[in-house]
């Protein structure tokens, strides 16, 4: 199937899933029930940034579905493909919002789910100074826990902020990767849709630090492309949904590096099957230069360990 | 007087046309008007003068006129013969150009040094010429010899055919159209179209195809490749275009024509300190060399010399009153220039024994004494500065663009989007990926001339804009390139005309959306690019989502180009119909049936907007068939 068709297909699937999630949530809570993510002033951040609208209730969320639908126009060109990718991101946000509307605490250890405004504000300075040189979003499943750990730790050692989505979280746990925001490895959730919680980090960064006016999609995408040094590693088999979410990342200016066979897109969608090269490939793709020279000592050593208390017995 | 608002979209052309009218100078448009109505027999290709029993004509409009020539030649025979002869003439023009370049390389000792040795070695390797232990000038000589033998060798096929995808080469062999020696193919067209020879229109066109292929993959390709060896392979650079590049305070020299051997020498001579001093003494601030038509493209591509204008602007350049000398060699030089020049101080200087113009000064150019002759010519121009008379008017119209996109330059640029940990460098892979992923829908070459039957420049420009909008990359050569740069399509700002996909590609690669690939012989660069892409994808050129268009074509060279493109598997849209419409069979053969034979065909479409639509449909069909 042509790449754009895969994207359109994935976006339609995401939309269907979002519709179903909204219906189920309304059935349970009624259309007047509140929807909100915890500890944010930006409503549903992706929808807010893209449309300027703050969604308050499930009924309004149902209305937002038509916006998503209007973004999916299966014409064969990049513009429409990227819009479809954005639609998938919005669908993901809708699905995640429904989780928060229906359940008291949809995420539990080790996953963090939605990330609060306070955390984003705390990330602002190190991102600007380059202390956090980049944001890696690792999604899916590596061939083994060792390979997963190798990639994650490598980013960690270089001071990048790493977000994990999917089975890779269990692989990281299995390989005893130390996680937590202070350690700069943040497991988001097991569902693909939880990737939206890092997307909204970028989006809120644009709103907070870039003062991008909500509803100005053009400027939002320019800010994320130019100012948020994020990229995606999509590992393991790629569903249409993941590919279309990848198109969303590309729309934000984030290159996607995958270990799977897909049609490459120059600069933006790169195949790298060699696990020893995933990290350098990704850094080059996003133009990330590591400021601190790596110290060749056996323990991972970088800013990522600043938050870790060195226990006596170590 | 004609309403020039309608016949051109170029501001400088409009202004100078008005000046010409004020000064009672006839231009190409006025002569075209005077020619109306043009002869229907000739227009349809139904007039034959191939023997002295003729002229004969076939009457189509009524039942009672003759339906065959005196010898019995039918409309199919006559139309196909006329077409084949036009193709042969076009092929001959390009090929003679190629031969001259090969000769220049052959004599490249001492004074003319080989500029691109890497390319020389590459060609030597391709042609099986051993390079070990030989110096560059010896290799140059051997390469030149081999190139020269391509024109008349007795056995074997053209060497450059090997650059085509295997499937294409096999197809040519099967159809018996793989050219053997360039001159021979041209002669054979002349032979078979002689009275009483070939009467089978398909067979006549088959021979025309051989002659055309011997141009694209022979004469033109030799011309391009060896020009690069001699004068350097073009690299991206900025250049100014349109008649506003003439400078009131300088000695203005327009080089016009085709062969870079002359224009290169003029460029060099114009930098001579003695001549610059002389110019100052004459009261000029300096010497301003500008180029016109294809030789203009050549020196712009290699030296950034301003592109003064296209085919239809040649008379208007003189009308500015600011041109001290127009130096010409061969091809597309309007004989009217002598008449126009007479009204001003401009000296029209012809240089080729193959192209003299009554009323012009003839200063014969000879590659071996190139620089000396060039200096004499430049001096002639310098000494003419003080003879300016009448009103000097240089319209304040020029634009800027980035040009110099040889295949080598393009591949280097593509490396900008390769990831050094994931991709090889030095290949067309990024271009292939951009096309396969759909970010780019395809690529189109806009080439060809100007023709009064189409509004000047606006067909090129409208077509280009329509394609850019659809994420279709445009490459261009010849006067198509002049049109595009004048309209600003070779600047970064031209991204505003592009769809998101193409705009993204341009941004990532830091290129304009319309790539200037050179002169008319440089269309061979496009053939090589397409071959590289097809080879990389493991398909034939005819499988690629590409097309070519000549919206304002006029010359026989354009007909040869069109036919070799078709024979290479390309869909070619012509804005002006060739003179074949008198024969339904020939027309159908060229515009329909040929596709099942060669994978390429002609399409006649005057309206550039409709042409773009047709091209887009063609490209999407090719994509579907490739499953991309
Ligand atoms: S070749 Fe035949 S058709 Fe042509 S001029 Fe002679 S007699 Fe007439
Ligand atoms: S494009 Fe046509 S008019 Fe222009 S120089 Fe080439 S052949 Fe002549």
DSSP-assigned letters across all residues of A96-165: HHHHHHH-S----TT---S--HHHHHHHHHHHHHTSS--EEEEEE--SSHHHHHHHHHHHHHTT-EEEEE
- Which 3 state secondary structure label does DSSP give B141? helix
pLDDT in tens, B511-522: 999 999 999 999
Q: How far is CA B61 from CA B484, B585, B590, in A?
A: 40, 17, 22
Contacts of B434 in chain A (CB under 8 A): 265-266
Contacts of A257 in chain B (CB under 8 A): 422
Q: Whose CA is nearest to atom 6 of ligand 1?
A: B51
Listed residue (B300, B198, B204) closest to B516, CA to CA: B300
Contacts of B417 in chain A (CB under 8 A): 266-267
d(CA B485, CA B466): 16
Output the pLDDT for position A304: 53
Output the pLDDT for position B1: 59
Measured torsion, CA atoms of residues B294, B299, B301, B307, in degrees rounded to the nearest 10: -70
pLDDT in tens, B130-167: 999 998 889 999 999 999 999 999 999 999 999 999 99
C-beta separation of A47 from A124 below 8 A: no
First-last CA distance in chain A? 53
The verdict on B495 touching A (C-beta cutoff 8 Å) is no
Residue A307 has pLDDT above 50, yes or no: no
Chain length of chain B: 628
CB contact (8 A) between residue A82 and residue B500: yes
**B48 is known to lie in a ligand binding site:** yes
- For residue A312, name the pLDDT band (cuts at 50, 70, 90): very low
Q: Report the residue of chain A nearest B420, measured CA to CA.
A: A281
Mean pLDDT lowest among B66-75, B99-108, B118-127, B207-216: B99-108
B164 φ, ψ (degrees, to nearest 5): -75, 155
pLDDT in tens, B222-245: 999 999 999 999 999 999 999 999
First-last CA distance in chain B? 52
Measured torsion, CA atoms of residues A142, A147, A153, A154, in degrees rounded to the nearest 10: -100
Residues forming a β-bridge with B548: B445, B572
pLDDT in tens, B272-319: 999 999 999 999 999 999 999 999 999 999 999 999 999 999 999 999
Q: Is B74 in the pocket of ligand 1 (CB under 6 A)?
A: no
- For residue A298, name the pLDDT band (cuts at 50, 70, 90): very low
- For residue A294, name the pLDDT band (cuts at 50, 70, 90): low
Q: How far is CA A219 from CA A52, A71, A223, A243, in A?
A: 13, 17, 6, 24
The verdict on B353 touching A (C-beta cutoff 8 Å) is no
Output the pLDDT for position B369: 84
pLDDT in tens, B48-79: 999 999 999 999 989 999 999 999 999 999 99
Cα of A237 to nearest chain B Cα, Å: 19
C-beta separation of A250 from A267 below 8 A: no
Listed residue (B354, B343, B344, B346) closest to B380, CA to CA: B346
C-beta separation of B235 from B411 below 8 A: no
Which atom of ligand 2 is closest in space to residue B480's alpha carbon? 1
pLDDT in tens, B162-185: 999 999 999 999 999 999 999 999
For tokens 């150019």, the residue is B365
Cα of A254 to nearest chain B Cα, Å: 14
CB contact (8 A) between residue B430 and residue A266: yes
Output the pLDDT for position B6: 77
Output the pLDDT for position A313: 40
Output the pLDDT for position A137: 98
Output the pLDDT for position B443: 98
Calculate what percentage of chain B has a pLDDT beyond 70. 99
pLDDT in tens, B451-480: 999 999 999 999 999 999 999 999 999 999
Ligand closest in space to the Cα of B46: 1
Average pLDDT over residues B21-45: 96
* ipTM metric: 0.91
Cα of A286 to nearest chain B Cα, Å: 10
CB nearest to B433's CB, from A81, A265, A277: A265
**B47 is known to lie in a ligand binding site:** yes
d(CA B398, CA B566): 35
CB contact (8 A) between residue A285 and residue B419: yes
Contacts of B471 in chain A (CB under 8 A): 77-78
Considering chain A, what is the average pLDDT of its residues? 92
Calculate what percentage of chain A has a pLDDT beyond 70. 92
Residue A292 has, within 13 A of its CA and on its CB side, a CA count of 19
The verdict on B37 touching A (C-beta cutoff 8 Å) is no
Q: Report the residue of chain A nearest B471, measured CA to CA.
A: A77
- Which 3 state secondary structure label does DSSP give B618? helix
Output the pLDDT for position A311: 39
C-beta separation of B501 from B471 below 8 A: yes
Residue A296 has pLDDT above 60, yes or no: no
pLDDT in tens, B242-274: 999 999 999 999 999 999 999 999 999 999 999
Give the distance (Å) from ligand 2 centre to CA of residue B95.
15
d(CA A155, CA A232): 12
CB-defined contacts A:B, below 8 A: 72
C-beta separation of B161 from B172 below 8 A: yes
**Which of B433, B471, B617, B619 to mutate against chain A (most A CBs within 10 Å)?**
B433
Q: Is B332 in the pocket of ligand 2 (CB under 6 A)?
A: yes
Cα of B49 to nearest chain A Cα, Å: 52
Average pLDDT over residues A166-185: 95
Average pLDDT over residues B31-52: 97
Residues of chain A that touch chain B, judged by Cβ-Cβ distance less than 8 Å:
2-4, 76-79, 81-82, 257, 263-267, 269-272, 277, 280-281, 284-285
Q: Report the residue of chain A nearest B414, measured CA to CA.
A: A266
Cα of B499 to nearest chain A Cα, Å: 7
Output the pLDDT for position A124: 85
d(CA B79, CA B58): 10
Residues forming a β-bridge with B472: B442
Average pLDDT over residues B194-200: 98
Considering chain B, what is the average pLDDT of its residues? 96
pLDDT in tens, B398-457: 999 999 999 999 999 999 999 999 999 999 999 999 999 999 999 999 999 999 999 999
Which atom of ligand 1 is closest in space to residue B68's alpha carbon? 3
Which burial class, exposed, middle or buried, applies to B433 when counting CB atoms under 10 A from its CB (0-12, 13-18, 19+)? Answer: buried
Average pLDDT over residues A104-129: 92
Domains and CATH numbers, chain B: 75-231 (1.20.1270.30), 243-387 (3.40.50.2030), 406-626 (3.40.50.2030)
Average pLDDT over residues B355-369: 92
């Amino acid at each position: 199937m042509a790449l754009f068709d895969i994207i359109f297909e994935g976006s339609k699937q995401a939309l269907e899933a979002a519709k179903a999630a909204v219906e189920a949530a309304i059935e349970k809570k009624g259309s007047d029930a509140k929807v909100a993510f915890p500890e944010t002033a930006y409503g549903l951040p992706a929808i807010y940034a893209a449309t300027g609208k703050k969604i308050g209730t499930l009924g309004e969320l149902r209305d937002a579905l038509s916006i998503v639908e209007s973004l999916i126009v299966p014409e064969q060109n990049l513009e429409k493909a990227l819009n479809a990718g954005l639609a998938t991101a919005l669908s993901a946000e809708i699905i995640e919002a429904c989780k928060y509307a229906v359940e008291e605490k949809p995420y539990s250890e080790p996953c963090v789910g939605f990330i609060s405004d306070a955390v984003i504000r705390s990330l602002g300075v190190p991102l600007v100074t380059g202390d956090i040189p980049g944001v890696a979003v690792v999604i899916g499943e590596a061939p083994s826990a060792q390979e997963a750990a190798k990639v994650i730790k490598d980013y960690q050692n270089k001071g990048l902020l790493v977000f994990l989505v999917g089975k890779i979280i269990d692989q990281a746990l299995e390989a005893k990767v130390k996680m937590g925001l202070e350690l700069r490895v943040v497991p988001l959730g097991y569902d693909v849709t939880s990737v939206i919680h890092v997307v909204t980090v970028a989006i809120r960064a644009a709103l907070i630090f870039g003062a991008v006016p909500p509803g100005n999609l053009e400027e939002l995408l320019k800010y994320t492309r130019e100012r948020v040094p994020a990229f995606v590693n999509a590992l393991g088999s790629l569903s249409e949904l993941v590919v279309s979410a990848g198109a969303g990342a590309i729309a934000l200016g984030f290159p996607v590096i995958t270990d799977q066979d897909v049609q490459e897109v120059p600069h933006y969608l790169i195949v790298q099957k060699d696990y020893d090269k995933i990290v350098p490939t990704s850094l080059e793709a996003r133009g990330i230069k590591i400021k601190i020279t790596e110290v060749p000592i056996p323990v991972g050593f970088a800013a990522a360990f600043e938050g870790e208390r060195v226990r006596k017995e170590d | 007087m004609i309403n020039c608002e309608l016949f051109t979209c170029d501001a400088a052309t409009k202004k100078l046309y008005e000046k010409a009218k004020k000064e009672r100078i006839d231009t190409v448009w006025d002569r075209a008007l005077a020619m109306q109505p043009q002869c229907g027999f000739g227009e349809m290709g139904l007039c034959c003068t191939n023997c002295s029993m003729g002229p004969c004509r076939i009457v189509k409009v009524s039942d009672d006129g003759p339906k065959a020539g005196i010898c019995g030649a039918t409309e199919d025979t006559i139309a196909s013969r006329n077409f084949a002869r036009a193709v042969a003439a076009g092929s001959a023009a390009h090929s003679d150009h190629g031969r001259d370049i090969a000769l220049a390389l052959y004599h490249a000792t001492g004074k003319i040094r080989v500029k691109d040795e890497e390319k020389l070695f590459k060609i030597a390797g391709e042609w099986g010429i051993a390079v070990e232990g030989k110096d560059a000038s010896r290799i140059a000589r051997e390469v030149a010899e081999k190139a020269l033998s391509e024109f008349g060798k007795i056995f074997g096929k053209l060497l450059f055919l090997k650059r085509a995808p295997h499937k294409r080469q096999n197809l040519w062999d099967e159809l018996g159209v793989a050219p053997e020696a360039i001159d021979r193919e041209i002669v054979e067209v002349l032979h078979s179209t002689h009275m009483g020879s070939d009467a089978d229109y398909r067979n006549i066109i088959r021979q025309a195809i051989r002659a055309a292929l011997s141009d694209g993959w022979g004469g033109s390709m030799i011309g391009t490749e060896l020009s690069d060896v001699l004068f350097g392979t073009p690299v991206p650079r900025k250049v100014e275009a349109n008649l506003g590049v003439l400078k009131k305070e300088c000695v203005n020299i327009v080089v016009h024509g085709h062969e870079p051997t002359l224009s290169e020498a003029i460029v060099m001579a114009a930098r001579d300190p003695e001549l610059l001093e002389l110019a100052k003494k004459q009261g000029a601030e300096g010497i301003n060399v500008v180029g016109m038509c294809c030789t203009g493209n050549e020196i712009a591509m290699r030296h950034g010399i301003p592109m003064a204008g296209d085919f239809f602007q040649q008379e208007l350049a003189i009308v500015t009153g600011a041109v001290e000398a127009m130096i010409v060699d061969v091809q597309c030089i309007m004989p009217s220039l002598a008449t126009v020049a007479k009204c001003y101080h401009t000296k029209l200087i012809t240089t080729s024994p193959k192209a003299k113009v009554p009323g012009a000064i003839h200063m014969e150019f000879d590659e071996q004494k190139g620089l000396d002759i060039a200096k004499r010519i430049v001096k002639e121009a310098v000494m003419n500065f003080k003879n300016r008379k009448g009103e000097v008017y240089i319209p304040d119209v020029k634009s800027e663009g980035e040009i110099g996109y040889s295949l080598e330059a393009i591949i280097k640029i593509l490396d900008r989007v390769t990831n050094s940990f994931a991709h090889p460098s030095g290949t067309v892979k990024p271009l292939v990926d951009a096309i396969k992923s759909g970010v780019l829908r395809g690529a189109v070459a806009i080439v060809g001339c100007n023709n009064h039957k189409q509004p000047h420049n606006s067909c090129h420009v409208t077509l280009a804009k329509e394609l850019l909008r659809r994420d279709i990359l445009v490459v261009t050569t010849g006067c198509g390139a002049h049109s595009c740069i004048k309209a600003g399509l070779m600047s970064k700002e031209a991204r505003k005309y592009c769809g998101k996909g193409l705009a993204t590609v341009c941004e990532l690669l830091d290129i304009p959306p319309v790539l200037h690939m050179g002169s008319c012989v440089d269309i061979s660069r496009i053939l090589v690019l397409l071959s590289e892409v097809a080879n990389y994808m493991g398909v034939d050129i005819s499988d690629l989502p590409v097309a070519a268009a000549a919206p304002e074509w006029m010359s026989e060279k354009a007909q040869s180009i069109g036919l070799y493109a078709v024979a290479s598997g390309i869909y070619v849209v012509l804005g002006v119909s060739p003179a074949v419409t008198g024969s339904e069979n020939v027309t159908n053969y060229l515009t329909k049936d040929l596709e099942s034979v060669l994978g390429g065909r002609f399409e006649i479409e005057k309206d550039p907007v409709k042409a773009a639509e047709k091209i887009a449909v063609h490209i999407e069909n090719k994509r579907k068939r490739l499953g991309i």
